[in-house]
Chains A and B, each alone.
Chain A
Amino acid sequence: MSAARRARARWDALRLLLLAAALAAFPGVARADGLVLSLSKARVTITSSFAGENIVLFGVIEPGAGAAATGASPGASPAPDVVVTVRGPNQSFLARRKERRLGLWINVDSRSFLAAPSYLAVLSNRDPALMSDADTLRQEQAGFANNRLLQRIGSDYADVVAQDPFRQAFLRVKQAQGLYVEDHTGVEFIAPHIFRAVFPIPGRAPIGTYDVVVKVFADRTLTQQAALRLDVAKVDFEQAVAGAAQDHPWLYGFICAFGAIAVGFCANIVFRRD
């Protein structure tokens, strides 16, 4: 029993070493106290045929490293829990509530969400609420409901209780747009200390730098964490068009206007009957 276990540990360590070596050879690799992460791509390039893409995150938890840090005995180390959080560039949003007034549904109330992530994916191997106590999870922003969403209420800036109707509506609308994702089974362990998580970058994902944060919980405490960056950028033609619109607005405007006239002229000539 003990021999088999030792052999398996050795095999695990070897595999770990190989994977770590392979990962280190590529960009988009992070390594922090006992946690090695790698993305299938460090950069999502948007070309004219882009319609969304799935990004795979691989992670290796070096056994014992985290447990040693927290002083737990290595022999009794429980199965680790993993929460992967991907946050897109921050944007400000306005949530509005409609009410019926004089027979018309009009906006009566609104709330500003300041610097909220434009994209948010929270993946875990089980419900994050089971991984640790509520305070720790809230502090670590682990779990979909625990992400801070700063609101402006009057002159104050604060996050509110999870039951706040504006907060719930905001999450509901963003989820319906496919920009906020929550998956309790999104992290899959392919070996005791090696996990895999797949998160979708939808077609309408905002451009910018995304932060990928991985937190590992063992024995109800945070043992390891590491972060990676993922770039979502337009390239080639898309970048050229967007760049021209931004850098040479007058030229771009005139090209669009005269282009429109040229298309109209061509159509008229092609379809001319007399």
Chain B
Amino acid sequence: MTIYLPIAELPVNVFTLLAMGVAVGFISGMFGVGGGFLMTPLLIFLGVSPAVAVASVSTHMAASSFSGALTYWRRGQVDLQLGAVLLAGGLAGTLAGVITFKILRSFGQLDLVIAVAYIVLLGTIGSLMVVEGLGAVIRRRRGVKAPVARPGAHPLFLRLPFKMRFRQSHIYVSVIPVVTISFAIGFLGALMGIGGGFILVPALIYLLRVPTVTSVGTSLLLTLFTMFAAIIMHAVLNQTVDAVLGLVLMIGGTVGAQFGARAGQTLKAENLRLLLGLLVLAVGLRVAWDQIARPADLYSVIIDERTP
């Protein structure tokens, strides 16, 4: 059964879209990530233009992050205070990212910069997570207890001035690293068209020592706010939000996210981190392969938006 997408201006199979929504929703519910870094390339593969894909995926991400955040909220696993500080840094970073995006586009090598950024970022984070996750899994197999973080053994950057107590997360750290992390994620998000959840979650866990579940819950809250802003921004500036496409993805995505969240709750934390690490690494390798392998056609044609 095909359905015509009014803004993307092409017909697609409803069941393909629903299946994509469920699959990506499952992953996003399981790991507390937006899933934009998976969904956007899938839609572009279906023939949706990148601008419409990025804008419409944000509606899907808003729906699934709200659904997920509610579940974590009821369990008291969302740190509102931490979320507010992260949001402030994130919005500033997004603005800087949008400006950089425009500058890079005028040089004509935006695609390359984005691809290299993807490879470096996903490769690094993915490798680190896989190594750490494997270490944790092996330690448990051997029956060795995980080294307990000693109080007062914080790294230097957490002991900078402007300390703040985040009760829900059980941390007492400087605001500077928190704002820096969220600024960097907002910047990369705007530049690469991703929500940044898959960077934020490990950053909260490893850098700020926030408990895993609270990291996921807070990341979902942040994704919700940034995606809400993104929908309005794309709708007003570019008119590229396809409500029909968004709705089908949302329905699949929210259902998938529920099952994903349940699967995530039953998994051991270190297995969860290992799986997310593998996923991030796989996407990074995939992007790297696209850049290294000889393309089927050396020529590509895009609609030129600059000239009327």
Q: Which residues of A contact B (CB under 8 A)?
A: 46-52, 91-100, 103-107, 110, 112-114, 165-166, 169-170, 172-174, 203-204, 206-207, 234, 237-239, 241-242, 245-246, 249-250, 252-257, 259-261, 263-268, 271, 274
Contacts and interface: CB of A to CB of B under 8 A. Distances in A.
B41 interface: no
- List 9 A-B pairs, minimum CB-CB distance, nearest first: A253-B235, A169-B299, A267-B254, A264-B66, A264-B67, A203-B11, A204-B10, A271-B258, A264-B63
Given A204-B9, A204-B47, A267 B63 contact: yes
A260 B246 contact: yes
B292 A105 contact: yes
Contact of B67 (A99, A103, A254, A265): A265
B231 A257 contact: yes
B253 to A, nearest CB: 9
A227 B74 CA distance: 67
Nearest to A99: B298
B252 to A, nearest CB: 10
Given A263-B63, A264-B66, A104 B112 contact: yes
Contacts, number: 192
Interface stretch (B77-85, B190-198, B237-245): B237-245
Contacts of B300: 95-96, 98, 107, 173
A262 B57 CA distance: 16
Interface in B31-82: 47, 59-60, 62-67, 70-71, 74
A260 to B, nearest CB: 4
B4 interface: yes
Given A46-B4, A107-B109, 14 more contacts: A94-B304, A95-B300, A98-B295, A104-B292, A107-B300, A110-B108, A203-B2, A204-B9, A253-B232, A259-B247, A261-B62, A263-B251, A267-B255, A268-B258
Interface string B256-288: 011000000000000000000000000000000
Given A245-B7, A249-B235, A106 B109 contact: yes
B225 to A, nearest CB: 11
B6 interface: yes
Interface of B: 2-4, 6-7, 9-11, 47, 59-60, 62-67, 70-71, 74, 108-109, 111-112, 116, 224, 227-228, 231-236, 239, 241, 243-244, 246-247, 250-251, 254-255, 257-258, 291-295, 297-304, 306-308
A104 B291 contact: yes
Given A245-B241, A261-B62, A105 B294 contact: yes
Contacts of B293: 105
A254 B112 CA distance: 34
A259 B241 CA distance: 13
Contacts of A246: 239
A50 B11 contact: yes
B74 to A, nearest CB: 7
Contacts of A110: 108
A248 to B, nearest CB: 10
B66 to A, nearest CB: 3
B4 A103 contact: no
A48 to B, nearest CB: 5
Nearest to A204: B10
Contact of B303 (A92, A99, A166, A255): A92
B254 A245 contact: no
Given A93-B302, A260-B231, A265 B2 contact: no
Contacts of B298: 97-99, 105, 169
A249 B239 contact: yes
Contacts of A239: 6
Contact of B11 (A51, A113, A241, A250): A51
Contacts of B116: 104
B299 to A, nearest CB: 3
Contacts of A105: 291-295, 298
A92 B307 contact: yes
B299 A263 contact: no
B301 A174 contact: yes
A259 B250 CA distance: 10
16 contacts: A105-B292, A107-B108, A174-B301, A203-B2, A207-B9, A245-B7, A255-B243, A260-B60, A260-B66, A260-B227, A260-B228, A263-B67, A263-B254, A267-B67, A267-B255, A268-B71
Contacts of A98: 295, 298-300
Contacts of B6: 234, 237-239, 241-242, 245
Given A50-B4, A242-B6, A267-B255, A260 B303 contact: no
Nearest to A98: B298
